[in-house]
Structure 1
Amino acid sequence: MANLGALLKNEIGRLSRRELRGQMEPLKKTAAAQRKEIAALKQQVAALQKQLVRTTGRKASLQAPALLADGDGNEVRSLRFMAKGMAPLRKRLGVSQAALAKLVGVSSQTIYNWENGKVKPRAEQLAALAAVRDLGKREVQRRLSSLASA
């Protein structure tokens, strides 16, 4: 009787492996096709980067520098962001993360992420930060009180 149980167990295992093999074959083919496509895209990106270096003479950065514009729409200066400068800025202005977030128009979590270097601000947020950076303590307090009353 034990022999019959072992035979049934082996047969069930063999049939289940056969069924799984039939179901896995299309998935393997799809995965292989996707890997080929990814490899082709990587080659295309590498070729485009080489072409860019040949035409411009320098590598492209992933993030374009933010530019400030004067009243006539002329670009004046580029802005750069350094995470280690956020906390000293807040300290100089005497404001909390939440208050700075109100001034810039973002959430306090965003300010936290900027300070810790997890993310970088977008161009319009960078311009707002630059505007706040040029303010003094009194002007910041004036703006915060006007935002609170509105």
Structure 2
Amino acid sequence: MGRLAKPTALKELGGNAGKRALNKKEPKPFGGPVKPAVMTASAKKIWDKVVVSMPPGVFTAADSHLLGAYCEAVARHEAATKAIIKGDAEVTGSTGQVKVNPWYREQADAARLIVTIGAKLGLDPVSRQHIHSDKDSSNNDDGFGDFLN
């Protein structure tokens, strides 16, 4: 299976580096992202940070559920990390055996989701370098730095 095609909107934002003809008949989602009704409280806070951290027009209403899944993964990762900090690295299993704390697996699973979904949304450094914005990149008030902290 080959590489997935990049959406035309991202090619345009990235300057169409390959200079190939763009798909003019590609469906164009409209409207800004809408926060899904069913989200945890911590994921809602992450949503607010992520949506304002990207230039207008990058996310559309069609991205809402993918953004929601990303925010839930970040919230799960944070919860797992907090639980790891509070607890032990090893726990006793049901039959008395010593095993690795299950929060480590939860943390790793959430991290994999963050990487996968984040790349699709342009939220990692490699994906983000292909998005060009009219906004001055030297301005540090873009919200993304606050999102990371």
Q: What TM-score do you get using the length of structure 2 for normalisation?
A: 0.21
Q: What TM-score do you get using the length of structure 1 for normalisation?
A: 0.21
Higher relative contact order (CA 8 A, sep 6+): 2
- Give 1 or 2: higher helix fraction: 1
